[in-house]
Structure 1
Amino acid sequence: MSAGDWRRRARRAVRAVARRARALPEPGPRVLRAVFDTLPQDSDAVRRIRSMAAPPRRRGTPPPRSAAPARDTTPGYRGYLHLADVGDTYTSQEAATLLQLENAVLKRRLFAEPAPPLTPTGHEEEDLAAAPRRVADHFARADAAAQLGDDAPRHLVVVGVYPTLENSYGNGFVHRRVKYFQAAGVRVDVAVIDRSAEPRSYEYDGVHVLVGRGAEAAELLRTRHYESVAAHFLVRSLWEPIQDALAGHRFFAFMHGFESRRWIRTMRNHRTQGQVDDAIGDTLERQRFWREVLDHPHGPERFVFVSRWWRRAAQEDMELVFPAQRTAIVHNVIDTDLFCFVPKDPEQRFRVLWVRSAANLNYGADLAVRALERLRDTPLWDRMQVTVIGDGKHFGLFEEAFADDANVTVERRFAVQEEIAALHREHGVFLVPTRLDSQGVSRDEAMASGLVPVTNDAGAVREFVDKDCAMIADAEDVAGLADGLRRLMEDPDLFLRMSRAAAARVRAQTSPEHTVDQEMALMGLAAGPGGRGEENA
């Protein structure tokens, strides 16, 4: 190959990469531009790359003036690998290998340093002195209201937030577990560790909850023996106050996603370089944290993952191995009594429901809006009735897009479980696009009610649905979502068949007998097949 041929191929390759980069969703292009701008702009290599990567000018547009290169006078190395200076002396494989191995060395050095202590609350001495009294008062109220005898097995739940009368959404799925445990004859205490909260005790739906900054939870563990202790969303602020008090207790860590997730899985939610930097820092802290927990003598007996996919993904994200003999798979429970199957009317295939948080783009609010907009210009639109209920940072996308559509009802609010079940009975299709799900509880609840989900192939979705019970578009595939809606509306027999299959799938996989019963057996709270759950599936 001649030098001229090589240069032409290089130019085409650079332009192709630049086109793909510009097509990425934000903040991808912005982050890439920020990284590129840190390169030495007076370098010949950078000037050539910038010239080749520039978007083509329209005919008749004058060429842009060349700006004087900005010079950074900040002394010292600023933390970026100057890839332009590397040139083509490394192959792609060599570059990837050097980044991976050098990163591993830096992490080993970082993790060898002791973790910085939690910021003091300023109440440590007060809490230590008052914890025995607070716990005694809590037990007095709980024991007075107890409907189970002293011989009933005891279980402690440790969380960072729990539902209250004022806010019924905080870890509601944990509360559903607790109610099932109580119905099975287990005495359950709930300890909330919130370093910014004022210690108190309250009752919610028959569950006694003790809130404190950590000393109270540790006192609970030292005062009473529990058959098992479960922590949901275990983070350092929950772990450090109780780690020494866990001696003699069987401890289980339930892994839902947030506590063991790498920053790249939520890349779309980071809008600035500073947010990306903070997210990477959070990931490094999590990676260090889980190594400490794994090595601790009072660490979890089992790490309980909500899906097989998340067990694999969490290990990749945290760059460690959770030993197989210390893991189990137990899906989040779906209340199939509340979300009961009522056979659908064929006309309900035109009634589409979205009821979900729009707090971040992983929930796919933008995908849902674009999928519905594709149907607006079709004959099906006039027959459709769409209900959208939720809240969050991106909920305004629905309000803006459908303000003038009489057949789309958009309500910015949250709905309680009983109302959601009633909405399920009125609708036939559940629009639930996603970019990341470790399970997908809202989708499974809708399926239990007989709604056909229209979703994306992302995360653990394929572990809970298939083509017989759901319309599954590829990742980011808006056209596929719209096509799934269209197919259901054009074929009433297909809709009814998939509705029945969706309800049956949930009852065979995530109903209480397949989840809570297994969970109690795993923790020694009920008789089961060896009390071991689904370990190494």
Structure 2
Amino acid sequence: MKIVVATGRYPSKGSPYSHMFVHTRNKQYLKQGHEVIVIVPATTENTYHIDGVQVVEGPVCKLKSYLFEADRAMIHLLLHRFDKKLDGGVLYDAILEKKIPTLFFIHGVETQTIWGSRRDDIQWRSPKSIARWLYRDLYLINKMKKTMSHFLADSVPVKFVTPSHWMLKEAERHIGLNLSPKAEIIPNGIDTKHFQFADRWEQRFELTSIRPLYYRGKYALDLLLDSSEHLDGNVHISIYGKGPDAEIIRGITEQLSANVSLNEGFLDAADIPNVHSKHGLYLGVTRMDAQGVSMCEAMASGLPVVSFDTCAIPEFVKHDDTGLLASAYDIEEYASLVNKLLNDRELFTRLAKSARAEMEKIDIDVTTKLETTISL
């Protein structure tokens, strides 16, 4: 099968982590014997290869011809733009015109308004933040709604793919369209061969969380830091990540009585198993996640997870079965569940083993095979 992947960004030498989750899928497609070409809107033309995947950059008018050769198109974060050379709408129109079989992946940005999902992220003193909000809510979402309504036509062979039922309902709520008749739930696959399971009980007092460094908002590091003050005194928490609030977070950690350290920097996929090996429990704090991939990777490695009963988390963490869930944003309950897990060997082991088995069900080999064989 010839697969053409249309995406807004892609890993390159100058930007090695751009939409790495798309590249991870594409490598699996190659392993399964498919031909893969990635097209990326850009103002100038360029072609390169990465891990055997051919990537073609250029104005959208030049890229659409690649779609006409596809047995199946995959769309990831292909957005409408003011610049006509970069406007994903041209590629959407080409797919619709030729009725190319398509998987339209919904990650959130394409459908969620900032005002309706993350209004606390708007920085009212930042012109850039306000411009981002206005672009997303007044321009992008309206354009995406119109585009997706065209894909809902009976004659168009498409599946809207979301990683969770929550994300599907969230998308429908924001854009006001019923996507369900053409929707499929396929979680982001977890490479369980890369994340080796081990008994982490001896490292249980070493807690970790891998999150973009935003103090408030969806990544909820404020909740993690607040809950740390209620944990048993002999724990150590290591936070890994990169983001604009690193200095704010570092300053707060220095004022806490809890033992919290910040490890600033982007973690390459190859580094994450090593981080897991040094820790025993994963703090899956969040206010909004369509899945929680870093959390799922920790579950695959044998780190029991404590998270909140919110957004899509309960679809991946079943309370008292594959992890523990506190009531949404209740930091005292959250801390009590962590303390309970630290002192209950049987519970710790049972949750870890069940979580690993659950992650094997969504191994990346399973999910990507479904993506290439699902009927359109």
Same fold, judged at TM 0.5 (above) = yes
- The aligned residue for residue 221 of structure 2 is 365
TM-score (norm 1): 0.63
- The aligned residue for residue 58 of structure 2 is 212
Q: Pairwise mapping of residues 368-447 of structure 1 onto structure 2 (< 5 A)?
A: 368-375=224-231, 380-381=232-233, 383-403=234-254, 407-447=259-299
Q: Pairwise mapping of residues 157-196 of structure 1 onto structure 2 (< 5 A)?
A: 157-194=5-42
- C-alpha deviation, 1:299, in angstroms: 5.9
- C-alpha deviation, 1:262, in angstroms: 2.3
Q: Distance in 1 between matches of 2:156 and 2:133?
A: 26
1:226 aligns with 2:70: yes
- The aligned residue for residue 100 of structure 2 is 249
CA contact (8 A) 2:111 2:144 kept: no
Q: Pairwise mapping of residues 335-346 of structure 1 onto structure 2 (< 5 A)?
A: 335-344=191-200, 346=201
Runs of 4+ in 1 over 4 A off after TM superposition: 273-278, 296-300, 404-407
SS in 1 for 2:204: helix
- The aligned residue for residue 315 of structure 1 is 172
Q: Distance in 1 between matches of 2:136 and 2:124?
A: 15
**Structure whose alpha-carbon radius of gyration is higher:** 1
- The aligned residue for residue 80 of structure 2 is 236
- C-alpha deviation, 1:438, in angstroms: 0.9
SS in 1 for 2:230: helix
Show CA shifts across 1:73-96 (max 9, x none). Answer: xxxxxxxxxxxxxxxxxxxxxxxx
- C-alpha deviation, 1:244, in angstroms: 3.9
- The aligned residue for residue 484 of structure 1 is 337
Q: Which runs of 5+ in 2 are unaligned?
A: 82-86
Over aligned residue pairs, what C-alpha RMSD do you find?
2.3
- The aligned residue for residue 373 of structure 2 is 521
SS in 2 for 1:446: helix
CA contact (8 A) 2:229 2:258 kept: no
Aligned amino acid, residue 228 of structure 2: L
- The aligned residue for residue 137 of structure 2 is 283
Aligned amino acid, residue 334 of structure 1: I
SS in 2 for 1:215: helix
Show CA shifts across 1:48-69 (max 9, x none). Answer: xxxxxxxxxxxxxxxxxxxxxx
CA contact (8 A) 2:2 2:71 kept: yes
**Which of the pair has the greater relative contact order for Cα pairs under 8 Å at 6+ separation?**
2
Q: Pairwise mapping of residues 498-513 of structure 1 onto structure 2 (< 5 A)?
A: 498-508=351-361, 510-513=362-365
SS in 2 for 1:339: coil
CA contact (8 A) 1:234 1:254 kept: no
TM-score (norm 2): 0.88
Q: Pairwise mapping of residues 29-178 of structure 1 onto structure 2 (< 5 A)?
A: 153-178=1-26
Percent identity of paired positions between Structure 1 and Structure 2:
28
Q: Distance in 2 between matches of 1:161 and 1:394?
A: 24
CA contact (8 A) 1:456 1:476 kept: yes
Show CA shifts across 1:394-422 (max 9, x none). Answer: 33343113337795332210111111111
Show CA shifts across 1:144-193 (max 9, x none). Answer: xxxxxxxxx21000101111233322111111110110000001001111
SS in 1 for 2:177: coil
- C-alpha deviation, 1:506, in angstroms: 1.0
- C-alpha deviation, 1:278, in angstroms: 5.9
Q: Distance in 2 between matches of 1:366 and 1:169?
A: 26
SS in 2 for 1:258: coil
- C-alpha deviation, 1:242, in angstroms: 1.6
Q: Distance in 2 between matches of 1:236 and 1:164?
A: 22
Change in 2 beyond 3 A, CA 1:300/1:396: farther
- The aligned residue for residue 355 of structure 1 is 210
CA contact (8 A) 1:474 1:480 kept: yes
Which structure shows the bigger proportion of residues in strand conformation? 2
CA contact (8 A) 1:229 1:251 kept: yes
CA contact (8 A) 1:287 1:319 kept: no
- C-alpha deviation, 1:493, in angstroms: 2.3
Q: Distance in 2 between matches of 1:168 and 1:278?
A: 24
Q: Distance in 1 between matches of 2:219 and 2:308?
A: 11
- C-alpha deviation, 1:277, in angstroms: 8.3
Residue among 318, 322, 328 paired with 1:466: 318
Aligned amino acid, residue 271 of structure 1: Q
SS in 2 for 1:211: strand
CA contact (8 A) 2:207 2:238 kept: yes
Which structure shows the bigger proportion of residues in helix conformation? 1
Aligned amino acid, residue 145 of structure 2: W
Q: Distance in 1 between matches of 2:57 and 2:156?
A: 23
